[in-house]
């Protein structure tokens, strides 16, 4: 069925826009609450949020929806997405909700739902909830109406889980670490956890005011943390996004380290210790060919999925893998978390620095990325990829790159854009291939 609300990562849109407002949030609460009310026990839902101004509005509307169908609500306040997933499972809740638009600016917001196992909902569950949003729900009466309360120890629970992801005999003493929390959900927990493990922490992006989330800071705006790492003479920089499910590392030289290098490090080290499951790592079609070649050299495979951490997770669960992620920084480590967790991934990197004594620039440069180029072409209507002229150009490009590179062409799931990505050993060839395809798309668009 077609979806009006749910996309590849829950519901996301402009706060107070047509797709996402208080009325819609209340419907989500009623529909999701009704869907997960099973049996005669007292049902409960955990609700967390990031630091957006609209989070207050969305939270209150969701609470009204859930309590009206008989669900008790536990509110955590600002907390990373992976923390909400963790608490949903640990507190034996029937459902978890994260109010966040991740790396988007403050004007957007979103609703992510987790099942009682702490994993994001299946397509079937989301479709059932979307259908129910168009129907009247049976409301609770009398003392069956849900209660709502805030808990004060949510941050402490998550900090404990983060610290537990580091080997018990591994401390971060003598490391100077810049931690950029994007003025988002991790502004309190991540610097605290790293400091408690012994590091000297220089925190930035930790003064949220409701409108400055992801504004010039965080994993999608790296200039500030790059400069700070060099200025402070820090050993490493840790950059998270607004809901802290994404990690980008900055080495001591101020250079960016993306998710591909992080996956290479974690996958190879876990393999050497006998901890890696499935015989490889799961990533998306956007991960660099250099990562694939590196893993093959280690006797490991790279399983590729569509773009989106939910597809990575599905492949991990289906194939028994415990390390996966995206080039953009989503890191899923199933031994420690049920969803992407930037802080826990950072702990694996920091542990490797301590164990090896190597600087970040050496430790996190395990392969030379193959030249890669991504360009977007906007279109007005129809599907340019159906045009025979475009198909012919794509076929010719695939022939040219055969054995020497890769070509990935896909439609954006959120905008009318065609994304054209190519990579190969010859940078000039890659650029020519991408430009030729983009020109062909523009002609029919």
SS3 373: strand
pLDDT at residue 345, rounded to an integer: 98
Q: List the chain pLDDT tens, one digit each, 445 residues.
A: 467 899 878 999 999 999 999 999 999 999 999 999 877 788 999 999 999 999 999 999 999 999 999 999 999 999 999 999 999 999 999 999 999 999 999 999 999 999 999 999 988 999 999 999 999 999 999 999 999 999 999 999 999 999 999 988 899 999 999 999 999 999 999 999 999 999 999 999 999 999 999 999 999 999 999 999 999 999 999 999 999 999 999 999 999 999 999 999 999 999 999 999 999 999 999 999 999 999 999 999 999 999 889 899 999 999 999 999 999 999 999 999 999 999 999 999 999 999 999 999 999 999 999 999 999 999 987 889 999 999 999 999 999 998 889 999 988 866 789 999 999 999 999 999 999 999 999 998 8
Angle (CA) 159 164 168, round 5°: 130
pLDDT at residue 41, rounded to an integer: 84
Long-range contacts of 401-410 (CB under 8 A, 24+ apart): 401/429, 401/433, 404/429, 405/289, 405/370, 405/429, 405/430, 406/289, 407/433, 408/285, 408/286, 409/385, 409/437, 410/285, 410/306, 410/307
- Which CATH topology does 372-444 take? TATA-Binding Protein (3.30.310)
Q: Tokens 């439609």 label which residue?
A: 411
Q: Which of 165, 329, 191 is nearest to 247 (CA)?
A: 329
- Which CATH topology does 257-363 take? Alpha-D-Glucose-1,6-Bisphosphate; Chain A, domain 3 (3.40.120)
Q: What are phi and psi of 364, to 5 degrees?
A: -105, 20
pLDDT at residue 40, rounded to an integer: 78
Q: Which of 45, 17, 57 is nearest to 121 (CA)?
A: 45
pLDDT at residue 86, rounded to an integer: 97
pLDDT at residue 380, rounded to an integer: 84
* Count of residues in the chain: 445
pLDDT at residue 228, rounded to an integer: 98
pLDDT at residue 327, rounded to an integer: 95
The dotted CATH code for 173-256 is 3.40.120.10
Question: Residue 150 forms beta bridges with which residues?
Answer: 75
Q: Is 253 exposed, middle or buried (0-12, 13-18, 19+ CB in 10 A)?
A: exposed
Segments of the chain assigned to CATH 3.30.310.50 = 372-444
Q: Tokens 């990505």 label which residue?
A: 421
SS3 217: coil
CB 311 within 8 A of CB 284: yes
pLDDT at residue 1, rounded to an integer: 47
pLDDT at residue 4, rounded to an integer: 86
Q: Any catalytic annotation for residue 102?
A: yes
Q: Tokens 């956007």 label which residue?
A: 286
pTM metric for this prediction = 0.92
Choose the catalytic residue: 34, 68, 102, 328: 102
Segments of the chain assigned to CATH 3.40.120.10 = 6-152, 173-256, 257-363
**For helices 342-356 and 154-164, angle between their N-to-C axes, nearest 10 degrees:** 40
List the structure tokens of 53: 């101004």
- Which CATH topology does 6-152 take? Alpha-D-Glucose-1,6-Bisphosphate; Chain A, domain 3 (3.40.120)
């Amino acid at each position: 069925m077609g979806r009006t609300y749910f996309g590849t990562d829950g519901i996301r849109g402009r706060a107070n826009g047509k797709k996402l407002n208080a009325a819609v949030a209340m419907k989500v609460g009623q529909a999701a609450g009704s869907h997960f009310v099973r049996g005669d026990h007292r049902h409960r839902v955990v609700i967390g949020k990031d630091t957006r101004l609209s989070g207050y509005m969305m939270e209150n509307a969701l609470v009204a929806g859930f309590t009206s169908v008989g669900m008790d609500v536990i509110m955590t306040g600002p907390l990373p997405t992976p923390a909400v997933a963790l608490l949903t499972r640990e507190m034996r809740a029937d459902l978890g909700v994260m109010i966040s638009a991740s790396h988007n600016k403050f004007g957007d917001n979103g609703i992510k739902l987790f099942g009682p196992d702490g994993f994001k909902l299946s397509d079937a569950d989301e479709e059932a909830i979307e259908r129910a949003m168009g129907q009247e729900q049976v409301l609770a009466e009398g003392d069956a109406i849900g209660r709502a309360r805030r808990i004060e120890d949510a941050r402490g629970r998550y900090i404990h889980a983060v610290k537990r992801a580091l080997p018990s005999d591994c401390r971060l003493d003598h490391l100077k670490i810049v931690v950029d929390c994007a003025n988002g959900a991790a502004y309190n927990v991540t610097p605290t956890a790293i400091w408690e493990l012994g590091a000297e922490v220089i925190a930035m992006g930790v003064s949220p005011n409701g409108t400055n989330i992801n504004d010039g800071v965080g994993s999608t705006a790296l200039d500030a943390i790059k400069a700070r790492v060099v200025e402070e003479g820090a050993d490493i920089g840790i950059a998270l996004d607004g809901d802290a499910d994404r990690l980008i590392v900055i080495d001591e030289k101020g250079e960016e380290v993306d998710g591909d290098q992080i996956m290479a490090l974690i996958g190879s080290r876990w393999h050497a210790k006998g901890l890696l499951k499935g015989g490889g790592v799961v990533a998306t079609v956007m991960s660099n060919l250099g990562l694939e070649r590196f893993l093959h050299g280690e006797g490991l495979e790279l399983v590729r999925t569509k773009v989106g951490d939910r597809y990575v997770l599905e492949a991990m669960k289906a194939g028994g893998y415990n390390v996966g992620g995206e080039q953009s920084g989503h890191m899923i480590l199933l031994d420690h978390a049920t969803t992407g967790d930037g802080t826990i991934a950072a702990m694996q990197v920091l542990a490797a620095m301590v164990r090896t004594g190597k600087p970040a620039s050496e430790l996190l440069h395990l392969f030379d990325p193959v030249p890669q180029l991504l360009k977007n072409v906007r279109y007005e209507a129809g599907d340019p990829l159906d045009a025979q002229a475009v198909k012919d150009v794509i076929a010719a490009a695939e022939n040219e790159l055969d054995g020497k590179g890769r070509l990935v062409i896909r439609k954006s799931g959120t905008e009318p854009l065609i994304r054209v990505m190519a990579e190969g050993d010859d940078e000039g060839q890659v650029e020519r291939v991408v430009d030729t395809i983009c020109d062909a798309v523009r002609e029919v668009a």
